[in-house]
């Protein structure tokens, strides 16, 4: 019985849907909700655009980070290549400077630290090469054919350089212009002192002083420095000369060790 009732009601509602009254109600309802439907559509469309905008921003940010990471990797690779090229150029220059004088076995080392003066010795320079690189005590340390000092202490992966300005440093030298022989000793500060020069020996300010090699410690013709001043005592048979090195130790970052 209930089934027939529901069928009857359904047929009645369908029939009423085609009447003028039902059409009027339907049109009124559509007219009433039309503005709200448009507003809802506009709002949902705007929200959809906003969501898409932020999704695109997030994707762009992710891509930007990926590009920045690649740029950093490329810059790191480029820096390594530049450093390698720089080291090769330095080594090539060093070999060209020395090829007519002697044929040394050179090890390129990086400077990674300095010590300070005390009342017994001058400052030391620390290098990143040691016994693993066949470095041993007494090896000369140079840069562009300029004598900087000699290796004094060696560990497996680093070594310590006694600079030529150290008061314990001694080397046999000669004056290039006049061929006068002498010795140089370190002095507190950045200078060296050339000794055992006779009063009548021909030494002048500006003269270039080179290693003579007669002491067997350093190869011949390494640059020690130039004569800055000459101190002549009124009494005595010898005089001294102050020698200035052409290199500022605190400004170098790479040196060569002669094996």
| pLDDT value at residue 69 | 47
The share of the chain scoring above pLDDT 70, in percent, equals 56
Q: How far is CA 103 from CA 94, 97, 100, 208, in A?
A: 11, 10, 8, 22
Worst-scoring range by mean pLDDT, 96-100, 138-142, 157-161?
Answer: 96-100
CA angle 93, 180, 161 (to 5 degrees): 45
| pLDDT value at residue 235 | 73
Tell whether the model's pLDDT for residue 141 goes beyond 70: yes
pTM: 0.62
| pLDDT value at residue 29 | 47
Q: What six digits make up the tokens of 102?
A: 């002697």
| pLDDT value at residue 72 | 46
Q: How far is CA 169 from CA 113, 166, 223, 232, in A?
A: 20, 5, 15, 23
Give the pLDDT confidence of 166-185 residue by residue, as tens digits.
888 999 999 999 999 999 99
- Nearest in space to 108 (alpha carbons), one of 138, 84, 75, 77: 84
Selected residue with higher pLDDT from 190 and 192:
192
Strands (E), 77-215: 106-114, 124-127, 140-143, 146-154, 159-163, 170-175, 181-186, 191-198, 208-211
Tell whether the model's pLDDT for residue 105 goes beyond 70: yes
Highest mean predicted confidence (pLDDT) among 122-131, 217-226, 230-239: 217-226
| pLDDT value at residue 32 | 54
Average pLDDT rounded to a whole number, residues 76-89: 56
Give the pLDDT confidence of 11-42 residue by residue, as tens digits.
555 554 545 555 555 555 445 555 555 455 55
Selected residue with higher pLDDT from 1 and 55:
55
C-alpha 127/C-alpha 157 separation (Å) is 9
CA angle 155, 156, 158 (to 5 degrees): 60
| pLDDT value at residue 1 | 57
The rounded mean pLDDT for the chain is 76
Enumerate the β-bridge partners of residue 186: 192
C-alpha 61/C-alpha 134 separation (Å) is 51
| pLDDT value at residue 236 | 77
Tally of CB atoms within 10 A around 183: 16
């Amino acid at each position: 019985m209930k089934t027939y009732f529901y069928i009857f009601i359904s047929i009645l509602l369908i029939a009423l849907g085609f009447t003028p009254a039902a059409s009027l109600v339907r049109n009124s309802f559509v007219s009433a909700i039309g503005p709200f439907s448009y507003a809802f559509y506009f709002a949902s469309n705007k929200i959809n655009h906003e969501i898409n905008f932020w999704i695109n921003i997030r994707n762009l940010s992710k891509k930007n980070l990926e590009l920045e990471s690649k740029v950093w990797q490329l810059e790191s690779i480029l820096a390594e290549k530049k450093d390698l090229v720089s080291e090769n150029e330095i080594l090539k220059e060093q070999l060209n400077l020395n090829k007519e004088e002697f044929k040394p076995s050179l090890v390129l080392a990086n400077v990674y630290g300095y010590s300070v003066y005390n009342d017994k010795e001058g400052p030391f320079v620390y290098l990143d090469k040691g016994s693993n690189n066949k470095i041993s005590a007494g090896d000369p340390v140079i840069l562009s054919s300029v004598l900087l000092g000699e290796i004094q202490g060696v560990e497996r992966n680093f070594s310590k350089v006694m600079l030529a300005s150290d008061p314990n440093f001694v080397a046999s030298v000669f004056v290039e212009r006049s061929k006068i022989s002498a010795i140089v000793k370190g002095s507190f500060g950045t200078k060296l002192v050339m000794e055992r020069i006779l009063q009548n020996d021909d030494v002048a300010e500006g003269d270039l002083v080179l290693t003579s090699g007669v002491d067997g410690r350093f190869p011949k013709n390494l640059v020690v420095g130039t004569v800055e001043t000459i101190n002549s005592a009124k009494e005595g048979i010898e005089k001294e000369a102050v020698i200035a090195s052409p290199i500022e130790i605190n400004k170098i970052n790479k040196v060569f060790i002669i094996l």
